[in-house]
Amino acid sequence: MQHLLRFIVILTTVLTFCEATISSACLRCICNVESGCRPIGCRYDVYSYSCGYFQIKEEYWEDCGRPGTSYKACANDYTCASNCVRAYMKRYIGSSGCPANCESYARIHNGGPRGCRYPSTLSYWEKVHQQGCNVNS
């Protein structure tokens, strides 16, 4: 019986990790940092355009599965853009080597698939943290 309980605990932990996803609270903090959580259109930023609520780049949109009718339309629709960010995080959190928490998600959003490992993304995390999100948000 004890072995069965141990197995169930381990299985539950593994399933929880596999299903880890960015929370609505963390998404909102990132959205506030990127655009004041408004559909602000596109702005030129570091060699390409970043668009919408989360200032998503076209390559990010492609990595999240190309939801919506187009890159710019999705980026400027909160539901589509949120789903894109969720899909991007789900795709990359497991291979990033970082824990599935708001800090890692924010740093991946800012620095790409392994952004949670780059010291340069710590200042971005501080901005997200100042929006009221903590590591476990």
Domain boundaries, the chain: 21-130
Q: Mean pLDDT of all residues in the chain?
A: 88
Q: Is 45 a catalytic residue?
A: yes
CATH 1.10.530.10 corresponds to the domain 21-130: yes
Q: What is the pLDDT of residues 19-66, one digit of tens each?
A: 579 999 999 999 999 999 999 999 998 889 999 999 999 999 999 999
Residue 93, number of CB atoms within 10 A of its CB: 22
Q: What is the pLDDT of residues 109-121, one digit of tens each?
A: 999 999 999 999 9
C-alpha 107, offset from chain centre:
8
Yes or no: say if 101 and 123 are a contact pair by the CB < 8 Å rule. Answer: no
Output the pTM of the full model: 0.84
Q: Is 63 a catalytic residue?
A: no
Q: Of residues 19, 34, 58, 59, which has the active-site annotation?
A: 34
Q: Of residues 45, 59, 62, 126, which has the active-site annotation?
A: 45
Length of the chain: 137
